[in-house]
Amino acid sequence: MEGLRKLEQVQRTILSMQSRESISSSNNNHNHNHNHADCDRFLANFILLLIQPYGDLDMEKKCKLINENLPKISTVFLEEALPCLSEKGNCEHKAGTNSLQTDHDDMAMVGLAAMQDANSTLEDFCRSYFMFHDMDVNRPQSIFRYLPILSFTESYIYQLDRLNEKMLKIPTEEVTVLERGFHLEANQSWVVKFIELFKTNPFGLLVLPFEHHGLLTERIREEFRHGEEYWALERKLCCALTSNKKILVEDVMRAIHLKSFDYRVLNLLLYQLRGEKVNDLHMEFLSVSEFLVELSDDMFDYEAKCISEAEEKYDRLLRDLDPKLSTNYQRRCEEATREGGKLSGPYLGTWSIPPVIVDEDFYRSEFSNSK
pLDDT in tens, 219-253: 999 999 999 999 999 989 988 888 888 888 899 88
CB-based contacts of 46: which residues, under 8 Å, 6+ apart?
A: none
CA 286/CA 300 separation, integer angstroms: 23
**46-63: per-residue pLDDT in tens?**
788 878 887 778 888 888
CA 264 to CA 234: how far, in whole Å? Answer: 19
Question: Percent helix, strand, coil in the chain (nearest 5)?
Answer: 75, 0, 25
**What's the pLDDT at 14?**
75
Percentage of the chain lying above the pLDDT 90 cut: 31
Global confidence as pTM:
0.59
What angle in degrees, to the nearest 10, is found between the helix axes of 218-242 and 261-273?
170
Sorted by sequence, the CB contacts under 8 Å of residue 240 that are 6+ apart come out as 246, 247
Q: What is the dihedral of CA 221, 224, 229, 235, to 10 degrees?
A: -160
Give the Cα separation of 81 and 236 in Å (integer). 44
pLDDT grade, residue 118 (50/70/90)?
very high
Distance in angstroms (rounded) separating the CA atoms of residues 257 and 153: 20
Residues 6+ apart with CB under 8 A from 130: 136, 137, 142
Judged by DSSP in three states, 279 sits in coil
Q: What are phi and psi of 317, to 5 degrees?
A: -70, -35
Beta-bridge partners for 57: 54
DSSP state of 79: H
User: How large is the average pLDDT for residues 288-295?
Assistant: 87
Question: Domain ranges in the chain?
Answer: 2-24+35-88, 115-353
